Structure 1
């Protein structure tokens, strides 16, 4: 098992914990595989949209922050 899977298994979201699993590592591995697929193919999840912007673009460079 990889450190990535162990780390994800240790930090399951509350809704992921509620589902329950006899093998949280296997559950975490499946979650990560699905996430990797969606990252590689932005059309893998219905109605999903992956936006690729830099932090400066996301923050609205040159704009004053709201009061």
Structure 2
């Protein structure tokens, strides 16, 4: 995980993530990205969830 990626995610926290009032948005972003990376590397890491992979040309209708 790169500092640039963490910094960008910290700057772009979702509204529901901002509501929590994190004292350290950077640490919050790092935790979010870490969990996301784990789910991507191991789709079974989160019970009752799955990772759906799509290409940019594939859209939902």
What displacement does 1:54 show? 3.9
TM (normalized to structure 2)?
0.81
Which runs of structure 1 show a deviation greater than 6 angstroms over 4 or more consecutive aligned residues? none
5+ long unaligned stretches in structure 2 = none
What displacement does 1:48 show? 1.1
5+ long unaligned stretches in structure 1 = 60-65
Change (3 A) 1:50 1:26: same
Alignment of 1:16-55 (within 5 A): 16-55=17-56
RMSD over aligned CA atoms reads 2.0
TM (normalized to structure 1)?
0.75
